[in-house]
Each structure stands twice: as C-alpha cells, then as structure tokens.
Amino acid sequence: MCVAIIGDDLSGSSDTAVSFIHYGFRSCVINYPEGFEAEISDCDVLSVSTNTRELDGPEAAKIVREVVVVLMKMGVKNVYKKIDSTWRGNVGYEIEAIMEAMDIDIAVICSAFPEMKRTISHGHLYVDEVQLEDTPIADDPNRPVKDSFLPRLLQEQTDLQVHLIDREVVTKGPEILYDTILNVSNNKKTMILVDAVTNDDLDTVASINPHNSEKILFCGSAGMSNAMLSAGKFATASKAPPVLVIVGSVHPQNKKMIDHTVKYGSAKEIFIDPQRFVEGMDLSDEIKKTIDLMRQGNNVIIHAYQTTEERKVARVKGFSKGLNESDISLLINKGLQKIAGEVFKDHQVAGVMVTGGSTALHFLRGVQGAGIRMIEELEVGVPYGTVIGGPLDGTGIITKAGGFGTETVMIKGIKLLQWKYLSGRNRQ
C-alpha cells in the first residue's frame, strides 16, 4: 500500500479515492474501525472514513490518532488528509492529530475545488462566487459554518501557528511558493493555508517540494488530490512489468511531457540523436540500455526529439545522402521500431504508449499487429486499446498524436497500462 487518505465521512473519502483509479491505482474505502478487519492487502490506496465530522474536536482528534497509528503499523508513510471543501467538521483538530502522530512539521491546506466552484481568495472561501457565510452551509443543521475567513476558522481549532499565503505568491510558481512556506513556518509546527482560484493554482500547490526534502502533510478536497496525482506526488513502484513509451513526433509539447514524467520519477529517458538513424548506425547500445533499465523495473521513454538545431543537422546529413524529409522520418521511425521490437522479444512489458501516427504505424507493423481494439479514452484524443494480432495480441497500447495530451498524460498512461495489466483487462 502506497497511499492512505483520511477523511471524516464516507462520501468524501470515496470521492477522493475514486480519482486514483484513473492513474492505475487500486483503491479501497473502509470505515474505521471495522474496515481494518477486512482483507485489503490488494489495495494500493486505502481511504479511511473516520466518521468524525459531527463529533466534538478532541474526540475526533483521538480517533484520527488511532487511525494513523494503525496505518503506520501497516507501513504507510504517505498520508493525504481529505477535508470538506466547505470546511464542515473538525479540520484543525484532525490535521494537528496527524501532524503529531507522524511527526510532521508543516501542513499545507487548500480546500479549493474550482470544478465544483469552490475557490479561495485572500483567505476567504467562496462557493459559486458567494462567500461561505452567505450560503446554505451557514445553516447546516449539523455542522453550520458561519465564517468564510479560513485562517480564523482554523485558528479556533488548533494551538499551532497558522499562516495564509495569498494567491499573488501562488502565481509566481512552485519554487517561490515552497520557499515562502519554509520561511513562514520558521522551523515550527505550522498550518499553512494557500489561496487557489483555478486548477492552475492547485497544480502549483501540488508541485511544491518535488524531491520531498521536507515532510509535508497535504490537506484538501478531491480537487487538491487530483492535482497531486497529476504532479506525480503519489508515484510508486508498481507490481506490474514496466511500460515502454516511444516518442517519434517532433512536436515541442512532447518534450514538456517527457521532462514532466522524468522529473517526477515515473520513467527513465533514453534520447537517441536522430543522426544515428540517418547514418544507419548500430543501435545495440541503445537497445541494451533500454532492456537493462526495464530489467531494473523502470518505465522507459525512448525518443529522438529534435530541437531546431538537431533537425537542421539531421536534415543536412540526410540531404547529403540523397534523402528527402519523408525518407529521414521513415529512418527514425524504423529505428525506434527496431528498438521496441528487440525490447519486446527480451523483456515482459505491461504495455506501450506511442506518440506520432507514423511511429505507431511502424510499431504495429514491427510486431505484426493488424490494428488496435479500442476500449476507452485516457484523455480527449488519447485512446487506450489492445493490439490485434501477432505475438503481442491483447497487449495494452495507448496512441497519441504529437500535439495531443496534457503535460501529465505520460504519467497517466503508464499507470493505466500497468493497472490494466494487473487487472487482466488488457485481454478483453
């Protein structure tokens, strides 16, 4: 098990857990305490509903501490605190309980969920552009919330220091935001509220501290957990074989995707100078390196991404040999095809993700595939299916046009292919 979610009610624990399945994680939701008696060894993500929303603060904190102790005995080190996007419940008490039990000094709290019209600006929580205190939540019969200023709400529920970081800092990027968080915490246990109005703001918050040099408890709604998934915060070693990603397209968007995937540890990268393909050079070193990395359990991205200068050099080299643009592209795609073919001969692979129409065509022909059986869509314009025919019949494959996909599409694709492999669905 790699991640635990601690929520204060069953529906909230569930709406956060479900988003993990789109990234290849197997998720379970249990009630405390009876859920810990169930068989949950096959879960990657365990979401625990403490059902403490309507209890008083000290009792809620006691139960949350008990849950954390059990989770720590199970070996869980990565905990996400799910809080209600409208701040019902014992937010401060429960976050402080987790921080104490896990010896964490900093909690970053952002309950914004822009897709559900929950936003935070200057510390005030808005629901559909109306301040929280002027919404029906203020008249909730069980847990009314009559104040929209979150620092004040939080400080009423904790003795720890509380700081607010305004959106002006968030828009400057994750590095500045992270430095600000460290500065305001001043080496003391601190709860830090962060503004967020857009999904981009959430992405920035989720992207802080990519190397986990400082233990941080992230707290928020399903909106924040979605952003953390996209940022690769919950990346973990998979029980499935690795995935091979082949990038033949020269669209610049792909380099951003590759860099993002490598940055968050989801894959290793092997770049092959396009001149090597044009000159017909031996690729045995690249093939060996790819296979070695995959034997070590790494997902691998192989690509011949060409900057303007690289393309110019490759073209000049090709033209000197009497080749045209199509010939050069064909040589590159056939070279990538050869590497992939050798990898599949030597090593078990959970699936393949291919970028570029010509690259996908040559890959399929190289493995004697007749086509792809369509099953679902990873993102808009990014289909998942299985290979039809040949020795890889039934193997999961994701194809993508050069300019399609978000920055996180490769991380999502790798997780989906591995999850499908483990669940057996890639042989539908």
Q: What is the CATH number of the domain that holds 32?
A: 3.40.50.10840
Q: Judge if 218 and 251 occupy the same domain.
A: no
Q: With a cut of 70, list the residues of the chain below it in pLDDT.
A: 1, 22, 24, 210-214, 235-239, 305-312, 314-318, 325, 425-428
Q: Judge if 258 and 163 occupy the same domain.
A: no
Task: Give the count of alpha carbons within 13 A of 387, CB side only.
Answer: 24
The 3-class secondary structure across 105-156, one letter per residue, is: CEEEEECCEHHHCEEEECCEEEECCEEHHHCHHHHCCCCCCCCCEHHHHHHC
What is the pTM (predicted TM-score) of this model?
A: 0.68
Which domain range does residue 264 map to? Answer: 243-427
For residue 236, being part of any structural domain is answered with no
Q: Judge if 130 and 11 occupy the same domain.
A: yes
Q: What is the pLDDT of residue 2?
A: 74
* Number of structural domains the chain divides into: 2
Last residue of a domain, one of 201, 230, 259: 230
Residues 6+ apart with CB under 8 A from 157: 57, 90, 91, 92, 93, 96
Q: Judge if 60 and 184 occupy the same domain.
A: yes
Q: Judge if 132 and 265 occupy the same domain.
A: no
Last residue of a domain, one of 170, 197, 230: 230
Task: Give the count of alpha carbons within 13 A of 355, CB side only.
Answer: 27
The answer to whether residues 400 and 357 touch, using CB atoms and an 8 Å cutoff, is no
Q: What is the pLDDT of residue 427?
A: 39
For residue 126, being part of any structural domain is answered with yes
Q: Judge if 95 and 116 occupy the same domain.
A: yes
Q: Judge if 210 and 316 occupy the same domain.
A: no
Q: Judge if 199 and 88 occupy the same domain.
A: yes
For residue 73, being part of any structural domain is answered with yes
Neighbours of 282 (CB within 10 A): 8
For residue 235, being part of any structural domain is answered with no
Q: pLDDT tens across 266-278, in order?
A: 899 998 887 777 7
Q: pLDDT tens across 360-392, in order?
A: 888 888 888 899 999 999 988 899 999 999 889
The answer to whether residues 411 and 22 touch, using CB atoms and an 8 Å cutoff, is no
For residue 290, being part of any structural domain is answered with yes
Q: Judge if 202 and 250 occupy the same domain.
A: no
d(CA 229, CA 102): 22
For residue 295, being part of any structural domain is answered with yes
The answer to whether residues 289 and 270 touch, using CB atoms and an 8 Å cutoff, is yes
Q: What is the CATH number of the domain that holds 355?
A: 3.40.980.20
Q: Judge if 48 and 188 occupy the same domain.
A: yes
Q: Judge if 219 and 262 occupy the same domain.
A: no
Last residue of a domain, one of 230, 264, 279: 230
Q: Judge if 285 and 194 occupy the same domain.
A: no
